[in-house]
């Protein structure tokens, strides 16, 4: 009944890297948003992986921090999707390269 903590952190790092690749390489707004969700989840897995190794309150703190991250993710999805709907209404495009007005 033991999972190697290093293995858990490795899985979390791989998930984080896949999330970074999604955010950077996709052009669709939805994929960028979902990539950010993946990043937050990878951080959560890392927190819980470390929390499972520490006894007492130190381990509990790691789990409580995950609760805050989940609340932040919910707020981020809420605002992000409202922004996507606004952008789509105004320009009718989901391509992030279409929104480069600040560059010019």
Which of the residues 53 through 82 are near other proteins (CB under 8 A)? 53-55, 57, 59-61, 63-68, 70-79, 81-82
Answer yes or no whether residue 16 interacts with other proteins by CB under 8 A: yes
Query: How many residues sit close enough to other proteins to count as binding (CB under 8 A)?
Result: 76
Answer yes or no whether residue 103 interacts with other proteins by CB under 8 A: no
Answer yes or no whether residue 48 interacts with other proteins by CB under 8 A: yes
Least gap, CB of 41 to other proteins (angstroms): 6
Which residue in 44, 99, 101, 103 binds other proteins (CB under 8 A)? 44
Burial 53-66 (b: 16+ CB within 10 A, else e): eeeeeeeeebeeeb
Answer yes or no whether residue 9 interacts with other proteins by CB under 8 A: yes
């Amino acid at each position: 009944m033991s999972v190697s903590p290093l293995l858990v952190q490795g899985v979390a790092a791989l998930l984080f890297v896949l999330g970074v690749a999604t955010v950077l390489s996709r052009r669709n707004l939805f994929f960028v948003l979902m990539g950010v969700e993946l990043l937050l989840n990878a951080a959560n897995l890392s927190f819980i992986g470390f929390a499972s190794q520490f006894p007492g309150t130190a381990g509990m703190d790691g789990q409580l921090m995950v609760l805050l991250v989940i609340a932040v993710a919910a707020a981020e999805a809420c605002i992000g999707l409202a922004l996507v709907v606004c952008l789509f209404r105004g320009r009718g495009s989901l391509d992030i390269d279409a929104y480069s007005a600040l560059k010019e």
